[in-house]
Amino acid sequence: MDNFLLAIKKRFLLPVVFLVGFAIWWFLCQAFHDSYWQGTIHRVQTVDFNMLHHTLPTTLSHDIVADRDDLIQKVLDSNYGLFGLVVTDPTGESILYKTNKIYHRESWQKHISPEELANSDEPFDLLTDPPLLDPQHIHVTPRTDKAADKTPYKHGRVLGRIYYVRDMEPTLAEDLASFLTTGFFEMSGAKRGYLFITTSVLELIAVALLLIWLRKRGIALKQQEIEHVKRELDIRKKALEHLNSELSAQKARKSWLEKEADTSYKRALALKQRLETLKDSITPSFAQKVAAGPDSGIKVRPPVHPSSLILEEIESIIPDLTTSAGTLKSQATMLNEYCAILEQKQSEMQRFVQEGNQIASERENSLDMRPQ
């Protein structure tokens, strides 16, 4: 789902959301239309017809016997034209009286011909002289589609028939057109349900757009955080590479210093041994020649410099060489400690990089594993 939200563009998002909202609105309107007209209105008219089956034949029979056409028409118009009441002759072939009022629109008025009245689902009642006191048909419950016969019953002279014509329900398109074009905010009848459905669907669309916007913003922020972590990882990787190169250079310098220290120390020791050997070889021979005296025939050439001074100068060099060798060794030891510190930093940087890679992979997996 997150990948779809990121892939879909803004110019396509609004049409898709509104198209889905319109489909939901149409489905809810269709369900409400069927429930209202085939449920509520049908049951209300069933109750009305059940009451009329109990009262209307008696009233109209008295009015016909009294020859009160004005009262008959008033009785037929008392339903305000919500449904049809039609009085015919005893055979049902000729219409004598009918409801003349029209409530908002014509519906049942188009279906009051003798042929259609004969095929009506609602049974007719007989108008008799004397009038019948018991109902001829009854509806057992408001949900029954057809009235049941109350037989047997005896009746006198038949004066006519009374037919009950149900209001014809409009189509969904007609009902919605009436709601949208006339009295949009009228809180009565089916329009109240359509208004509630319309406002609810508009609120649903607004909430859906808000949730989508918040989700996309959250995903974008997480992606920015992942990019920031990746950049930080790149910086740490470069720092680790720099530490690795510096560590390699310091290790090479340490090895070189160790070799130089060993070489200098060995040279100092060799020089010291040679000087000691030279000292031992020069001093006894010179002493013997001096002891032999002038009669020995040996001429001793006086040294350019006194032997003691030369030896003292050579001996003074040896400690300096030894000190230099020790200094080199101490530097090598310090470099060794510095290399150990660098190795510790290298291990810490590797641990930071591994943790950063693990965090970035977990966040990417959390984004990829969300429900599509």
Kindly report, residue by residue over 44-68, the tens digit of the pLDDT.
999 999 999 999 999 999 999 988 8
Average pLDDT (336-362) is: 76
**Which residue ranges make up each domain of the chain?**
28-182, 227-368
Task: Kindly tell me if the per-residue pLDDT of 184 is higher than 70.
Answer: no
116: number of Cβ within 10 Å:
13
Q: How far apart are the first and last CA of the chain?
A: 3
Model confidence pLDDT, tens digit, residues 104-133: 777 888 878 888 888 888 889 999 988 888
Q: What is the mean pLDDT of the chain?
A: 79
CA distance 368 to 372: 9
**For residue 12, what pLDDT is reported?**
72
**For residue 152, what pLDDT is reported?**
63
**Does residue 143 sit in helix, strand or coil?**
coil
Average pLDDT (231-248) is: 85
- What is the DSSP track for 91-136? TSSSEEEE-----SS-SGGGG-SHHHHHT-SSPPEEEEESPPSS-S
Please report which residue ranges of the chain form alpha helices under DSSP H.
2-7, 10-35, 42-65, 69-76, 114-118, 172-181, 190-292, 307-368
Residues 339 and 233 sit within 8 Å (Cβ to Cβ): no
**For residue 41, what pLDDT is reported?**
87
Percent of all residues in the chain with a pLDDT value above 90, rounded to a whole number: 16
Measured over the CA atoms of residue 129, residue 131, residue 134 and residue 136, the dihedral's sign is: positive
Structure confidence at residue 75 as a pLDDT band (50, 70, 90): very high
β-sheet with 157-165: strand ranges across:
95-98, 84-88, 157-165, 125-129
Instruction: Decide which of 6 and 366 is more confident.
Output: 366
Average pLDDT (325-338) is: 74
Pairing of strands 148-149, 137-138: antiparallel
Question: Which two tokens mark 88?
Answer: 């015919």
**For residue 9, what pLDDT is reported?**
60
Any idea which of 65-69, 130-134, 240-244, 329-333 has the lowest mean pLDDT?
A: 329-333
Task: Kindly tell me if the per-residue pLDDT of 169 is higher than 80.
Answer: yes
**For residue 204, what pLDDT is reported?**
93
Residues 127 and 57 sit within 8 Å (Cβ to Cβ): yes
Model confidence pLDDT, tens digit, residues 207-226: 988 888 888 788 788 888 88
Give the best-scoring range by mean pLDDT among 8-12, 290-294, 335-339.
335-339
